[in-house]
Amino acid sequence: MATDLSSATATTGTSASADASAVVAAPLADATLRGAAAVRRPGLIRWRERNLIIGGTLIALIALVALFAPVIAPYGAQETDYAARLVPPGGDHLLGTDNLGRDILSRIIHGSRIDLRVGIVSVIFPLVLGVVLGSLAGYYGGLVDTFVMRLVDIVQAFPFLILIIAIVAVLGPGLRNMYVAVALVAWVSYARLLRGEILVAKHREYVEAARAMGARDVRVVGRHILPNVISSALVFAMADVILYIVLAASLSYLGLGERPPAPEWGAMITEGRTFLATAWWISAFPGLAIVLTGIAFSIFGDGLADALRPNRR
């Protein structure tokens, strides 16, 4: 009889413990399922990354237009028709013509090749130079850091645009000299950014572990540190792309950029300034192309910042 009572008590205790565990585990399971459903929900992921998708799509469309410009453009970039001078938008010329009878739409399409190249090439050189110098300064410190940061102070002592104009004026007008001027001046922003990030990252546990395993400095920086800190520089570069397109347009307006008759958007704006009162479309539509390209890169940069944010990984 005592055995039966003990068995019943044990069974009752086990059942109660199981019920209590079930009561505790149920909310946890529900929360886990809700969290998994939230992670797997495709609509939520698309909504959070909408800027990356929209911006990337717009940039891809602009790149396709530039790539297939000879096929898409209804006329040649330098094709003139003096009988159709200063024709307003509409008809055979959707965006009108300039003072030489050249189709504005065709010139904008062909000019996308030049301006995209300006934005991308102008970013690559200062980005690479700034990453290298900023990494050396942040990782080694000491005299290397002092030397790099004094160079940064010297460059930043002058206004950015004034220094670019001065260098291009000395070297001569043209986009190639603009690339040189930007590379000499714009690297400082990336160097300061990477230096600050590496000063923090080089004391992390994974870096100390890599050093303890005998990894060389080049491997520690290139394999372990840079992949974790380069995202901020890439996001910054997206904003710089449109900055340099506008810079090329500004230099063209001053006579220091791409020379006519090249269909560069800034040069087109400069050519149309004489006819602003009578033929506004000559300058307005190239300016609109610059604005739309800037919006595309800005949206993509915002989406890239969200995608590379540490708490999203």
pLDDT tens, position by position, 3-13: 443 444 444 44
CA atoms of 134 and 128, how far apart (whole Å): 10
How much is the pTM? 0.76
What percent of the chain stands above pLDDT 70? 83
Helix ranges restricted to H, 82-186: 104-140, 142-156, 160-171, 175-185
Q: How many CA atoms lie within 13 A of 269 on its CB side?
A: 22
pLDDT at 283: 92
Confidence of residue 256 (pLDDT cuts 50, 70, 90): confident
With cut-offs at 50, 70 and 90, classify the pLDDT of residue 310: low
- Give how far Cα 42 sits from Cα of 48, 183, 248, Å: 10, 42, 41
Of 10-24, 110-124, 254-268, 273-287, the one with minimum mean pLDDT is 10-24
- Find the mean pLDDT for residues 213-241: 86
What is the mean predicted confidence (pLDDT) over 100-116?
Answer: 93
Token code pair at residue 174: 């043209």
Instruction: Report pLDDT digits (tens) over 275-294.
Output: 888 899 999 999 999 999 98
* pLDDT reading at 178 higher than 60: yes
Instruction: Please name the residues in contact with 83: beta carbons below 8 A apart, sequence gap of 6 or more.
Output: 101
Query: Counting beta carbons within 10 angstroms of the beta carbon of residue 166, is it exposed (0 to 12), middle (13 to 18) or buried (19 or more)?
Result: middle
Provide the mean pLDDT of the chain: 81
Pair of tokens at residue 104:
């504005």
100's tokens: 């030489």
Question: Which pLDDT belongs to residue 137?
Answer: 92
Q: What is the pLDDT of residues 22-81, one digit of tens each?
A: 433 444 334 334 443 334 444 444 555 788 899 899 999 999 999 999 999 999 988 888
Is it the case that residue 83 has pLDDT exceeding 90? no
Maximum CA pair distance of the chain?
117
